[in-house]
Every structure is written in structure tokens, then in C-alpha cells.
Amino acid sequence: MSRNQIGLNIPKGGVLLVPVAIILLIFIAKSTETIGPGEAGVLFERFGQGINTEKTYGEGFHLVAPWNEMIVQKVRQQSISDKMNVLSVNGLEVRVDGTVWFKPDYENLGNLIKNKGRNYISDILDPAINAAARSVVGRYTPEQLYSSKRDVIEQEILVEAQEELKDQYIIVERVLVEDVQLPTTIRDAIERKLKQEQEALEYQFRIEKAEKEAQRQRIEAKGKADANTILSASLTDKILRDKGIEATNKLAESQNSKVVIIGSGKSGMPIILGNQ
């Protein structure tokens, strides 16, 4: 039975529309690229100049010719951690555990991919950080690395890494030294020394405290002695007799029973007997 007999009247050209539609869908699918949050892209033009260094594509939906390729990279802040064996200023091996925060230069993402490649982290960033760490750590003794120089070392590594990478289209934002591991014997010796220094400081503090207390007591005793000297010099016999008479008058006015013998005491002062 023919198609006309069963009522299917399909134009002869209509058969060609199906593969054309499929090809068109494939073309559209190949011609789109979605760049996610915190990412950016550069265009690789196969029949042109290769990596297009003039434009960086931001987040969102983009149309791309199917013969070209959109190379997408993270451009937000990222971090890498590493463990490095380096030498101190006196030649002792030290292991430094650190983390580096970085990001690619957004405006020069095309130059970064074109000149340094997609694996720029392992090819460029890691060697630069290692070189900076070795250079900085090599200036310090194990004791300085172990105790008080951690923040200074971080800043110096950061500055040297930024100098190494200033023309490499990579921005290093921060360096964190998380741990410094010394040979066991060296670490124990440093800890003993630090403990002894702390004990010496504590002992010196106690001595200074005792000396200050003794000085305070000497000053207080001298003040009392001076006061007694001044008081003794001012108490004449006349003043003492006047004070005695005044006290006698007050006692005489008191309602408590008493016996007062006038003129019988030493120097003529009254003798006052209490309640009978």
C-alpha cells in the first residue's frame, strides 16, 4: 500500500528537515558555554590567533563557534598547602608546613594561559613559593623559627613570592606558616633553654618584688621615726602639764566614780585612780 493510499502526504523535501534539525541542535549545543560562579574564560580560536588575550569572559552564558574552545579557569581566591624541607642559617634541616592564598590576574587570564599554560599552579606558583621559603628560612636560626619569628617569616615569604611572580599574572595575597618542625634533639634543647629563661625571669621578678617591699618598709619606718622625732621635740614640760590638767578636768566632770590625788604624781601631775 502506498503512502498516498494511507493518507500520509509528506512533501519530498520534508525528509531532509529531520537531519538538518539534528545538525542544527548539535551546532547550537557546541556553540554555547556556561561559566560558573568564581570562574572566567578565555577563547581559543583554532583558525585564528590561538588564545585570545584581549578579552576575559565572565560568569554566565556565552555563544562560541563550534570550532573554537572556551578555556575556563577559577579566578576567585584559592589556596595551596605544601610541606617543604629547607635549611636554616646554620645548615640544619627544617620542615615548614605552609599555605598560600592566591588568584590569577583576571584581566590577564589570557596571557597567563597563553604563556604559562593551564597547569600554572604546579609549573609556576609552586616553584616560586618554594624558592621564596628557602630563601627566607635560610636567614634564621632554628630557635628563631621555632619561637618568635613566625609572623616576620610569613611576611618576608609573601614579599619574595610577590617579587618572583610580579610578571607572571598571578597575585599572591597571603602566606601562612602553619608549623615548623625541627629535629627532635634541637627542639628539646630549645624548649629546655626557653624554660630556663622563663624560670630566670620569674626569679628576677621575685627578687625585684622583695627589694621593692623592703624599700617600702624602710621608707615607712623612716617616716615614723621622723614623725616621732618631730613630736618629741614639740612636747615641752609646759605642754605636757597643760594636757594633764585638761585631762584631769574632763575626768572630774565624768559621772563615773574615781579618786583624784592632786599634786602627788611625778613632776607634780595628778594621780588618777579608777573605780573603786
Domain CATH number, residue 101: 3.30.479.30
- d(CA 180, CA 151) in angstroms, rounded, equals 12
Give domain status of residue 151, yes or no.
yes
- Please tell me whether residues 109 and 199 are part of one structural domain: no
Do residues 155 and 108 both lie within one domain? yes
In this structure, are 85 and 165 located in the same domain? yes
Cβ 228 vs Cβ 254: under 8 Å = no
Residue 8 located in a structural domain: no
Are 109 and 38 in the same domain? Answer: no
Chosen domain end from 141, 161, 182: 182
Sheet holding 170-181, edge to edge: 78-87, 93-104, 170-181
Same-domain status, 163 and 198: no
Residue 2 lies in a domain: no
Residue 169, sorted as left (phi over 0), alpha (psi -120 to 50) or beta, turns out to be: left
Domain membership of residue 4 (yes or no) is no
What's the chain's Rg over C-alpha atoms? Answer: 48
- What residues contact 46, with CB distance under 8 A and at least 6 apart? 67, 68, 69
Taking a C-beta distance cutoff of 8 angstroms, is the pair 153, 113 a contact? no
The verdict on 177 and 263 lying in the same domain is no
Dist CA 262 CA 248 (whole Å): 9
Query: Are residue 59 and residue 114 in the same domain, yes or no?
Result: no
- With CA atoms as reference, report the closest residue to 267 among 242, 241, 243: 241
In Å, how far from its chain's centre is CA 257?
82
Residue 252 included in any domain: yes
Q: Dihedral through CA 229, CA 233, CA 237, CA 241, nearest 10?
A: -70
- Going across the sheet that includes 50-51, the strands are 50-51, 39-45, 69-74
Grid look-up 557546541 returns 30
Q: Are 116 and 58 members of one domain?
A: no
* Structural domain count, the chain: 4
Cell of 45: 580560536
Q: 86 lies in which domain range?
A: 78-182
Task: Name residue, grid cell 590625788.
Answer: 261
Residue pair 169/109 in contact by the 8 Å Cβ criterion: yes
| C-alpha dihedral sign at 167, 168, 171, 176 | negative
- Residue 210 in any domain: the answer is yes
Nearest to 151 by CA among 173, 174, 134, 131: 174
Q: Is residue 109 part of a domain?
A: yes
* pTM, 2 dp: 0.58
Residues 158 and 92 reside in one and the same domain: yes
Q: Are residues 201 and 111 in the same domain?
A: no
Per-residue pLDDT of the chain in tens (276 residues, 90 and over written 9):
444 444 445 555 555 566 666 665 665 666 788 899 999 999 998 888 888 889 999 998 888 888 888 999 999 999 998 888 888 787 778 888 889 999 999 999 999 999 999 999 999 999 999 999 888 888 888 777 776 677 888 899 999 999 999 889 999 999 998 888 776 766 666 667 666 667 677 778 788 888 888 888 888 888 887 777 776 766 666 666 766 777 777 766 666 655 555 554 555 555 555 554
Residue 263 near residue 256 (C-beta atoms within 8 A)? no
- How far is C-alpha 43 from the chain's CA centre? 40
171 and 264 in a single domain? The answer is no
Same domain, 113 and 174: yes
